[in-house]
Amino acid sequence: MKNLTYKKLFKLSAVTLSAISALSLCACGRGTAYYGKNGVQAAAAPSSMESNAGAGYYDEPSYYDDYDYYDYEAAAEEDYGYTTNVNGGGDAGLTSTQIEASVAANRKLIKTVNMSIETIAFNEFINNLQNEVNKCGGYIEYEYSYNGSAYNQDNFTNKNATYTIRIPDSKLDSFVGAVSGLASVTDKTTSTEDITLNYVDTESKKEMYEAEQESLMALLEKAESIEDITYLTQRLTEIRYNIESMESKLRVYDDLTDYATVNINVTEVKVLTPTVVEEKTLSQEMKEGFEQSVGDVINGIKHSFARFVIRLPYLIRTLVILAIIGGIIFAIVRIIIAIVKKQNKKYRDAYEAKKKEIEEEKKKAEGKKAEEKKAEEAKKVEEKKD
């Protein structure tokens, strides 16, 4: 009894250490399974252990001698009726008869509806749409709405919204009908994707991994050596990862099939687009076309006048700013001109004074020269008298 307790404690410690090591290995990359020598897929041993293959490290684990090798494929075919892939990859699947029966009994369909809607009362439609979603037990997965811009007066269809809505599959038809009655549907597209085979295949893989997990747990209880416990723990970690991956995939499938997706694009318009085109005579078509053209012209004039009145304060503000700027520029120019004129007058006065001074000096020089000439002539006259 004492030896048995010690043995269990040793095994528990080895399992704990092996689990930590296996998780570290799985974080870096999952290895290939090793089952033994019966042709079942085997795991590649680490290089340090491959060098000791002769010592029996990963060649033939000791516990296989007592409990033989477990044939998972045979067990799967016996317990679940599954058959492996033709390519031998080890992925499990149902037989053709079972697949056909499963498909007929429970089809998995992903339904998607796309709708383009026009409405005159935008806010009222949005409120009614949300009420219909709540009535059907659905929810809004995505919402985008644009309530228009006060600075974009030229756009007459300002408000728009985009919704992605999830509705229970059983309520899809009633919801689409109710939404169609709230406004004008201009475009509608319905698509259905059948994922039954993918769903069944994923379920079968999950069950195969669970069967292998139970078998490995039974072998782990009987394992004696540390290398056997290490390998089994590592393989169990990989299998648990695969089971969780399959369960996550199935949950996604269930969500997509249980709740249909409805994509709605809503636009506010002044006039609804006719959904039914009536045959008209040439005279009716000409009359309606002329009336529509006249109406468009009148509406254009109205909107132009309204935009002018609305923007009149901005125009006045712009004119005032331009007048102030023009007045400032005009004053600056007048000041510059006055300064230039004053400077020119100063230069002109100086020039005139200088010119007058030169003329006076010239006159003085000429008068002096005339006097000298007159004196010489008088002197010559006196000399002749003598």
- Full 3-state SS string of the chain: CHHHHHHHHHHHHHHHHHHHHHHHHHHHCCCCCCCCCCCCCCCCCCHHHHCCHHHCCCCCCHHHHHHCCCCHHHHHHHHHCCEECCCCCCCEECCHHHHHHHHHHCCCEEEEEEEEEEECCHHHHHHHHHHHHHHCCCEEEEEEEECCCCCCCCCCCCCEEEEEEEEEHHHHHHHHHHHHHHCEEEEEEEEEEECHHHHHHHHHHHHHHHHHHHHHHHHHHHCCCHHHHHHHHHHHHHHHHHHHHHHHHHHHHHHHHHEEEEEEEEEECCCCCCCCCCCCCHHHHHHHHHHHHHHHHHHHHHHHHHHHHHHHHHHHHHHHHHHHHHHHHHHHHHHHHHHHHHHHHHHHHHHHHHHHHHHHHHHHHHHHHHHHHHHHHHHHHHHHHC
Average pLDDT of the segment spanning 73-92: 42
Residue range of the domain that includes 45: 2-102+215-239
The most confident of the ranges 72-76, 77-81, 174-178 is 174-178
Which one has a higher pLDDT value, 326 or 37?
326
Q: What is the pLDDT at residue 277?
A: 61
User: Are both 92 and 20 inside the same structural domain?
Assistant: yes
Q: What is the mean pLDDT of the chain?
A: 75
Q: What is the pLDDT at residue 335?
A: 94
The most confident of the ranges 24-38, 137-151, 242-256, 358-372 is 242-256
- Asked if the model's pLDDT at residue 91 lies above 50, the reply is no
Average pLDDT of the segment spanning 136-160: 75
Which one has a higher pLDDT value, 89 or 263?
263
User: Are both 224 and 352 inside the same structural domain?
Assistant: no
- Asked if the model's pLDDT at residue 80 lies above 50, the reply is no
Domain presence at residue 163: no
Q: What is the pLDDT at residue 98?
A: 66
User: Are both 86 and 232 inside the same structural domain?
Assistant: yes
Which one has a higher pLDDT value, 150 or 88?
150
Which one has a higher pLDDT value, 44 or 192?
192
User: Are both 98 and 222 inside the same structural domain?
Assistant: yes
Between CA 259 and CA 336 the distance in angstroms is 81
Measure CA 80 to chain center: 44
Between CA 384 and CA 386 the distance in angstroms is 5
- Asked if the model's pLDDT at residue 216 lies above 60, the reply is yes
Domain presence at residue 269: no
Domain presence at residue 234: yes
Domain presence at residue 140: no
Q: What is the pLDDT at residue 19?
A: 44
Which one has a higher pLDDT value, 262 or 55?
262
Q: What is the pLDDT at residue 317?
A: 92
- Asked if the model's pLDDT at residue 7 lies above 60, the reply is no
Comparing 58-67, 205-214, 248-257, 338-347, the range with the smallest average pLDDT is: 58-67
Which one has a higher pLDDT value, 147 or 213?
213
User: Are both 234 and 377 inside the same structural domain?
Assistant: no
User: Are both 351 and 221 inside the same structural domain?
Assistant: no
- Asked if the model's pLDDT at residue 94 lies above 80, the reply is no
Tell me the per-residue pLDDT of 106-126, one tens digit each, with 9 for 90 and over. Answer: 788 999 999 999 998 889 999
Tell me the per-residue pLDDT of 11-64, one tens digit each, with 9 for 90 and over. Answer: 444 444 444 444 444 433 333 333 333 333 333 333 333 333 333 333 334 333
Domain presence at residue 379: yes
Which one has a higher pLDDT value, 385 or 357?
357
Tell me the per-residue pLDDT of 281-311, one tens digit each, with 9 for 90 and over. Answer: 888 888 888 888 888 888 888 888 888 888 8
Domain presence at residue 82: yes
Q: What is the pTM of this model?
A: 0.50
Q: What is the pLDDT at residue 284?
A: 81
Comparing 15-24, 207-216, 262-271, the range with the smallest average pLDDT is: 15-24
Residue whose pair of structure tokens reads 């069967």 in the numeric block: 211
Domain count, the chain: 2
Average pLDDT of the segment spanning 156-185: 89
Q: What is the pLDDT at residue 177?
A: 92
Average pLDDT of the segment spanning 97-108: 66
Domain presence at residue 151: no
User: Are both 378 and 235 inside the same structural domain?
Assistant: no
Domain presence at residue 86: yes
User: Are both 220 and 358 inside the same structural domain?
Assistant: no
User: Are both 227 and 368 inside the same structural domain?
Assistant: no
Average pLDDT of the segment spanning 246-251: 93
